[in-house]
Structure 1
Amino acid sequence: MSATPDDPALYNSFLADLLGVMAYGELSAFERLSSSAGYSPTLHDRAVLGRMAVAEFQHYELIRARLEDMGLDTEAAMLPFQPSVDHFHELTRPADWYEALMKAYVIDTVSADFYGAVGMYVDAGTRELIGQVRSTGESTDVLQERLKAALADDPRLASRLALWARRLLGEVLNHAQRVSLEHAFLGGLSGLDDAEAKALVGGLTAELAANHARRMAGLGLPG
């Protein structure tokens, strides 16, 4: 565990990558939720997603401030991750309100799990920042409530949303694995060699999938 790095310069380079992907993820989440609000069947639902979008932008601002404190340019830190994140969102464009809700739920919860796992390998200040960024409890509860209500109103949605959630999980995990290994920040932050880092990413992927399956079961859907 590399919370007190022996090589601060090397540690900061890996940390910059982590913060860069987090920053662009939060900025993209703001854009995604703002766009998904257009699917909302009611003004109340539109306002709910609007509040979530504002929270995501506030998270982005927290990360931006940390990068600037490190003397780093936020745009430069985000740019390496823009193509893969944008490609992911193109592959998972929702078709309607229900798919938009499920996408928000899956991505937000899996991202929170991922950030929490990474937080084990960073310094105390960064761990605190990650805790602020992943504090999605209220948003998660609202999304879960909306999904349960939709499934209760129309049980025929269950099979479609279960398939959609499974596809989303696959894409999220592929994206997380690819980014973690290509940019090597997880291995770098944890002080592991390439083989050990690959095993760590594999174990984390399995943990994320298991957590997702439990959440789907809570919705009455297969994982």
Structure 2
Amino acid sequence: MTTSQADPARYNSFLKDLLGVMAYGELSAFERLSSDARYSPSLHDRAVLGRLAVIEFQHYELVSARLDAMGLDPEAAMVPFQPSVDHFHERTRPADWYESLMKAYVIDTVSADFYRAISRHVDEETRALVEHIQADEEATAVLRERLKAALADDPRLASRLALWGRRLLGEALTQAQRVSVEHGFVGGLAGADGDSAAELARGLMAELAANHSRRMTQLGLTG
């Protein structure tokens, strides 16, 4: 049991925020993928994004159900995060199909890394939910293979998508750090305060960046 779990009121507050931002992130991903499907160069690709959007909505329903089971209103838990998440997506609006694919790949994988890291400090039931949702490799594999195919078909895309990927990572890390600090996820759930919490947050951001770099290398891009 972490220090925060020893204080039920404090822990439940952290948990409500964690599940709230997860739920809104999944709902936003559903909306984003559904909207970005319009860029698809073929009906097959449109169907691919549609399928991924369905998966994101199923994830949203799982988190929402967990909040309901805790006696919490999912909408109330999500609302505090709506402005920052919406603003993030406005700042990272893709220009075409390829940028849409890269955004989905980067944001989904960085988010999965972030939530899995946070889940080290939560109760077993919540950790199982996070791991179930974030371990879904279907969407990641589909996006990775589609990006590889696009880069093989048109190598000229490499420099543009590498630059776009770096921008997305920077925005994602900024967003993750802001959420971590404002809501005390890393320090609060781990029972750390002050300098210790800041050190944990810095370590997590470095971990996210390193994982992203490895994934870009696997695509033949520079991270």
Aligned pair 1:117/2:124, yes or no?
Answer: no
TM-score (norm 2): 0.97
1:115 maps to a residue whose letter is Y
Instruction: Please report how far the alpha carbon of residue 194 of structure 1 lies from its aligned counterpart in structure 2 after TM superposition.
Output: 2.4
- In structure 1, the partner of 2:102 is 102
- In structure 2, the partner of 1:23 is 23
- In structure 1, the partner of 2:146 is 146
Instruction: Please report how far the alpha carbon of residue 122 of structure 1 lies from its aligned counterpart in structure 2 after TM superposition.
Output: 0.3
Structure 1 stretches of at least 4 aligned residues deviating more than 2 Å after TM superposition: none
Instruction: Please report how far the alpha carbon of residue 145 of structure 1 lies from its aligned counterpart in structure 2 after TM superposition.
Output: 0.6
Q: Which ranges of structure 2 fall in alignment gaps of 5 or more residues?
A: none
Aligned pair 1:126/2:145, yes or no?
Answer: no
SS at match of 1:44: helix
2:135 maps to a residue whose letter is S
Counterparts of residues 28-177 of structure 1 (less than 5 Å): 28-177=28-177
SS at match of 2:6: coil
Instruction: Please report how far the alpha carbon of residue 207 of structure 1 lies from its aligned counterpart in structure 2 after TM superposition.
Output: 0.5
SS at match of 1:85: helix
1:52 maps to a residue whose letter is L
2:31 maps to a residue whose letter is E
- Of 129-138 and 116-125, more deviation after overlay is shown by 129-138
Q: Which ranges of structure 1 fall in alignment gaps of 5 or more residues?
A: none
- Of 160-169 and 133-142, more deviation after overlay is shown by 133-142
Distance in structure 2 (CA, Å) of the matches to 1:136 and 1:169 = 21
Aligned pair 1:180/2:180, yes or no?
Answer: yes
2:12 maps to a residue whose letter is N
1:28 maps to a residue whose letter is S
2:3–2:191: 8 Å Cα contact kept in structure 1? no
- Give the length in aligned residue pairs: 223
What value does the CA root-mean-square deviation take over the aligned residues?
A: 1.1
- In structure 2, the partner of 1:191 is 191
Instruction: Please report how far the alpha carbon of residue 133 of structure 1 lies from its aligned counterpart in structure 2 after TM superposition.
Output: 1.4
